[in-house]
Amino acid sequence: MKKIDRYILSKYLSTFFFCMLLFTAIVVVVDMSEKTEDFVKSGLSASRLFTDYYLGFIPRIDAMLFPLFVFISVIFFTSKMAGRSEVVAILSSGISFKRYLFPFFLGGFILSFMLWLGYQYVVPDANRKWSEFEKKYVDVNMAPDVNNSTYKQNLYFRIDSNSYAGIKGYDTISKSGSNFALQRIINDQVVYNMRALSFRWDIASHKWNFFNVIERTLDSTSERVKFSDAVTKRFSFSPIDLRKDNYLKDQMSTSDLDEFIRKEKMRGSEMLSTLQVERYNRDAIPVSVLILTLIGAILSSRKVRGGSGFHLAIGVLISVSYILFSRFSIVFATKGNFMPWLAAWTPNICFGCLVIYLYQKAPK
C-alpha cells in the first residue's frame, strides 16, 4: 500500500466508525424515549436494561443500517476531498482512476467481511436478546386482546416422507402441549396412528414424553390397539421447530438456519420462502456494502458546485432507492412466486450494473 492508499483508507474507516457511533447514539435515544413506559413497567435496573436489551438492540440496528452508514461515510469524506481538489491532484499525478479506487475497494471489502461475520455469529445472538426482552416486557403491553405469541394453536406439519403430526396447543416456554396426533401413511393407507392427551420435551434425553397414549397399528386384515400411561419417543422435530414466530429466523446461526430450512422444505412449510430470503440476505447484504462504497466513491469524486450537500442528497436518494428495491423484492418472494435467492440478490445485481455505468461515465 502506498501513502495515498493509507490516507484514503484511514479517512474511510475513521469517518465510517464516527458516523456509526453518532447514528447509533441517536437511534438509542429515540428508542429509549419510545419505550420509557415499558422500561418502567419492567422494573429492571439501568444495568439490566443495558445487558438484557441494548446489548441486543445495538448490534441488531447497526447491522440493519450498516450499508447506509458506509454509503454516507464514503460520500461525505470523498466529496470533501473533491472540494479541496485532492482528487484532481491524485489523478493529475498519473494515477489511473481504477488505481485511485483501490483503497475504496479494500475498505469496502474489509467492512463487507465484518458485516458478513456479524450476520453469521453476532447478530443472531443479539436478536435473541432483543426478541426475548420484546416478548417479555413490550409485546405484553400492546393490548389485552393480543394473542400470546408463546402459545401456539392448531399446528400441522410433516415429520418425514410418510408421517404427519398435528398439535392442538403448545407452549414454547414450558415446551409442553396438549392433544398430539400422529399418522403414518404408506401407499395411501394409514398403517399407524398415535394420539396423546398431553406431551412434554425431555431436556435430558432430547426426546418427547407423551401421556395417556393410544397407539393403533393397522394392516390389511387386522388392527392392534395399545393403551399407555406414558411413552417416550424420539422424532425428527424438536421444540425449536414448533416455535414459529416472527423472531425465530433472526435468532438462528447460519448453520442452524440451513438445517431448519432443510426440515421445513421436507415438511412443505408455508414459511419456507421467508426463511430462504433471510438465509440469502445474510450473504447478499454484506456484498451491498462493497457496491455502495464504489457508487459513493465514483459519484463524490467529481467536484460540483453543490459540494458535499449535493453529493449527500444524491447519496440519500440512492440509499432510499436501494432499500425500496430490496423491500419490494422480499415482498414478492414471501407473498408471491419470486425466487428467494433472486429476491435477495436482485438489488445487488441492479446496483452492480449501476457501478459499471458510473465508472464508464466518470471523468478520469
Digit-coded pLDDT (tens) for 170-229: 988 788 999 999 999 888 888 899 999 999 999 888 899 999 999 999 887 788 899 999
| pLDDT tops 60 at residue 143 | no
Q: Which of 228, 244, 260 is the last residue of a domain?
A: 244
Question: Please, what is the average pLDDT of the chain?
Answer: 85
Share of the chain above pLDDT 90, in %: 30
> What residues does 155 pair with on adjacent strands?
167
Same domain, 184 and 276: no
137 and 286 part of one domain: yes
How many domains, the chain?
Answer: 2
pLDDT of 148 strictly over 50? no
The residues near 172 (Cβ < 8 Å, ≥ 6 apart) are 150, 151, 152, 239, 242, 243, 245
DSSP string, 335-360: HSS--HHHHHHHHHHHHHHHHHHHHH
pLDDT tens for residues 269-282? 777 888 888 899 99
Phi, psi of 216 (to 5 degrees): -120, 130
Asked whether residue 254 is assigned to any structural domain, the reply reads: no
* Same domain membership, residue 137 and residue 7: yes
- 195 domain-assigned: yes
Query: If you count them, how many residues does the chain have?
Result: 364
317-343 tens-digit pLDDT: 877 787 777 777 777 776 767 788 888
Q: Is the pLDDT of residue 309 over 70?
A: no
Position 236 scores a pLDDT of 82
pLDDT tens across 88-98, in order? 888 888 888 88
Q: What is the pLDDT of residue 174?
A: 85
- Per the structure, the complete domain to which residue 127 belongs is given by 3-141+271-361
Amino acid identity for residue 79 in this structure: S
pLDDT at 344 over 50: yes
Report pLDDT for 208. Answer: 93
What local confidence, expressed as pLDDT, does residue 308 receive? 61
**pLDDT at residue 45 in the model:** 86
Residues 122 and 171 in one domain: no
Q: Is 255 among the domain residues? A: no
Q: Give per-residue pLDDT as tens, 117-132.
A: 999 889 999 988 888 8
pLDDT value, residue 145? 40
Please report whether residue 238 resides in a domain: yes
Domain annotation covers residue 257: no
Instruction: Decide if 9 contacts 39 (C-beta within 8 A).
Output: no
Q: Which residues on neighbouring strands pair with residue 230, listed in sequence order?
A: 211
What number is the average pLDDT over the span 31-40? 87
Residues 155 and 96 in one domain: no
In three-state secondary structure terms, 203 is coil
Residue 311's pLDDT is 66
Residue 314 lies in a domain: yes
The answer as to whether 103 is a domain residue is yes
Same domain membership, residue 82 and residue 118 = yes
Neighbouring residues of 135: CB distance < 8 A, sequence distance ≥ 6: 149, 150, 247
Q: What are 4-9's contacts with CB under 8 Å, separation 24+?
A: 4/90, 4/95, 4/103, 5/102, 5/103, 5/106, 6/103, 8/81, 8/103, 8/104, 8/107, 9/103, 9/106, 9/107
Sheet of 176-186, strand order: 151-158, 163-171, 176-186, 189-202, 207-218, 223-233
C-alpha cell at 179: 392433544
Q: 276 and 129, same structural domain?
A: yes
Of the residues 202, 227, 244, the one at which a domain ends: 244
**Whether 174 and 135 share a structural domain:** no
For residue 277, CA distances in Å to 96, 293, 346, 354 come to: 39, 24, 12, 23
In this prediction, residue 38 carries a pLDDT of: 82
Which pLDDT score is estimated for 146? 42
Domain co-membership, 51 together with 135? yes
Tell me how far apart the alpha carbons of residues 293 and 10 are, in angstroms, rounded to a whole number.
14
